[in-house]
């Protein structure tokens, strides 16, 4: 049986980057998420880096969610406006239910400091018992998103698990 405490949250990291998958760019955004996981005492369940290819993204999301290895699966990258940015579309195909308020909160929190945050198309939602959240591909965008998520990520996972909460 998995640890049910907040520190027992199992978080997966999925970096979507063509250059990263080719070994041409360091995964600094994934590293930022990993540091956040360690800082909060969460457990790294899986970490993968895939190119901006729908089949590869979907496969990695399904592995993390359907095998129930992750309570939360955080993606980084592929949420912008370029033709290769397909993370939201790939994510949408695997979600059982979208959670638009999460994506809206992530964008809203960054807007005052970085107006370009409005260009992010990231999604969030639930597949099975896994919360999936698309974060931007930049380390700064990841840091902004994690600062929002840490305010209620444990509560969100408790709701998804069907655990009693104080709400």
Q: For residue 163, what are the CA distances in angstroms to 22, 48, 129, 147, 159?
A: 41, 29, 12, 24, 6
Residue written as tokens 């974060």?
135
Predicted model pTM: 0.94
Q: Which tens digit of pLDDT belongs to each residue from 92-147? A: 999 999 999 999 999 999 988 889 999 999 999 999 999 999 999 999 999 999 99
CB atoms within 10 A of CB 87: 27
Q: What is the pLDDT of residues 12-54, one digit of tens each?
A: 999 999 999 999 999 999 999 999 999 999 999 999 999 999 9
Region label for 52, one of left (φ > 0), alpha (ψ between -120 and 50) or beta (otherwise): beta
């Amino acid at each position: 049986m998995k640890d049910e405490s907040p520190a027992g949250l199992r978080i997966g990291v999925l970096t979507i980057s063509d250059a990263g998958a080719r070994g041409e760019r360091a995964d600094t955004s994934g590293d930022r998420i990993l540091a956040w996981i360690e800082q909060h005492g969460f457990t790294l369940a899986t970490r993968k880096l895939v190119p901006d290819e729908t089949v590869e993204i979907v496969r990695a999301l399904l592995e993390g969610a359907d095998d129930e290895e992750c309570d939360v699966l955080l993606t980084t990258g592929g949420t912008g406006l370029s033709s290769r940015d397909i993370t939201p579309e790939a994510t949408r195909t695997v979600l059982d239910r979208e959670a638009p308020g999460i994506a809206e909160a992530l964008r809203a929190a960054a807007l005052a400091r970085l107006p370009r945050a409005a260009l992010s198309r990231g999604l969030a939602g639930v597949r099975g018992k896994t919360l999936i959240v698309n974060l931007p591909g930049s380390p700064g965008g990841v840091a902004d998103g994690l600062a929002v998520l840490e305010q209620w990520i444990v509560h969100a996972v408790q709701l998804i698990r069907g655990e009693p909460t104080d709400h």
